[in-house]
Structure 1
Amino acid sequence: QPIFRGKRGGPLSPNIIRRVVQQARGKLGISDKTTPHALRHSFATHLLAGGADLRSLQELLGHASLSSTQVYTAVDAAHLLDVYQNAHPRAD
């Protein structure tokens, strides 16, 4: 079942989401790179960084296959490596 619903109780349409994000960008002066897809990607990455498991994330994102969700583990691993290299005294 959809978490966020429209006025009539059904799932929100992609056009509504795009329009709301576009309006928010205009009001807040945010870059055009802030798209619904970018927000979705950020959401998934933050959940993984916070300890969410892949199966739960797969369900939240509505992915049919786990391999689609596993893409986000590479982003998280890259972030961890960056933190390590910037913080560890013996990092190369």
Structure 2
Amino acid sequence: MVVELRLKNTGATVFDDAPGNGLKLIDTEGQHYTHTFGGVKEGVVFSSVTANPGDSRKSVVLFGAPGRQTREASIFAEQRFHQRTGAWAIP
């Protein structure tokens, strides 16, 4: 399953990290899927990102989830080394 995300740096310092690390897709049944690596035709896969304050980057993340679960899901990110978390709903 491929999910397109836009990352916007709303902080006051440069964001320099790999946002795919720590991402999990959670389907409506509570099943967790981690991001995987592989080629996609739908866009450029997130790897390392550098974004100045106010900048945004758009990319795709590939998850090992069956495509039938694309209607409702959420994504949870936990950056253990930086104590940051985030959550997104997939409409």
User: TM-score scaled to structure 2, two decimals?
Assistant: 0.21
Hey, which of these two has a bigger chunk of helix by percent? 1
User: TM-score scaled to structure 1, two decimals?
Assistant: 0.21
Q: Which structure: larger Rg? A: 1
Hey, which of these two has a bigger chunk of strand by percent? 2
